[in-house]
Structure 1
């Protein structure tokens, strides 16, 4: 049985893509674009805009591929570029407003019942104001700490915590409405 070193295969593919090998670039795009479109979709409600942002971000990936140092995950490196492109898009649209509110509460929000589909949950997240949605995704989905989020978004750490708190509260209210609706009690 032959053992294939997948990391080495990825490294060679990246090197070919750096040398402007279109076939290698297409392989990278085909491999990562479905996941990265999903990441864009978490931040951008409209699918067509999410696709445009993903394509723009992949152009940045290929332009800066020579800067990838093979330290850490290649997928994580691409994901970071995708997220930054989503944040930039939202900023340019001037759709995001952060409310300076130091009054926040920590609350566990880990009990989303399995009765909801991924589309239902994504729809609930889409209904959040952009500032809430961005912080919620960066914290809950991507795993960034509040200090990192604050730095990325140019806000203070307390604002990040407040936005997350408000997002969780709004999501809980939406989930309760959805539960009541599906149980026929509304």
Structure 2
């Protein structure tokens, strides 16, 4: 069977071809689930976000102008991130905690390099949702504090504070984990 490239799948999906839509979903399912699971506390919520996100992808696919595969992947990823943020807001899970003005200190999280991916994901998912959300947006997705401020409706200082506290919590968890193993 002929392997269709992403552009062909998009074009056929735009015209309502269910087989192409399924192939596109299958191609993007795993990486997009990875995006969703970083923001949500449990797999069930991540799956809900994933399905809602794909619903929006296919609903808005006709408006998307294909440039290249990377741009398409980025577009789908932004939809998934926005869906995750909307679910967190809807469930009132994003709680912005007290601002710490001691923001200019850089927190060393170098022990992260030694963790397996699944351990890192588990560690990130263990921190409070506000910290986790800002950490993901800044460190993983590459958003600026201004962009995070706009997306979450918080001040830039709050975004910086949440990131600072997230890194501190992650560092503290890593130190604790190393002590548990006798390091």
TM-score, structure 2 as length reference: 0.90
Equivalent position of 2:75 in the other structure = 77
Q: 1:180 to 1:110 in 2, by over 3 A?
A: closer
Alignment counterpart, residue 48 of structure 1, candidates 34, 41, 44? 44
Which consecutive unaligned segments of at least 5 residues does structure 2 have?
A: none
Question: What is the CA RMSD across the aligned residues, in angstroms?
Answer: 1.9
Equivalent position of 1:149 in the other structure = 148
Deviations 1:60-119 (A, max 9, x none): 000000121224610110000000000000111111111352612341545134432222
Looking at structure 2, the residues matched to 98 and 113 of structure 1 have their Cα atoms a distance apart, in angstroms, of: 25
Deviations 1:11-39 (A, max 9, x none): 22111101111011011100001000011
1:39 aligns with 2:38: no
Q: How many residues align?
A: 178
Aligned counterparts, 1:126-165, within 5 A: 126-165=125-164
Which consecutive unaligned segments of at least 5 residues does structure 1 have?
A: 1-5
Q: 1:154 to 1:21 in 2, by over 3 A?
A: same
Mean Cα displacement is larger for which, 106-115 or 165-174?
Answer: 106-115
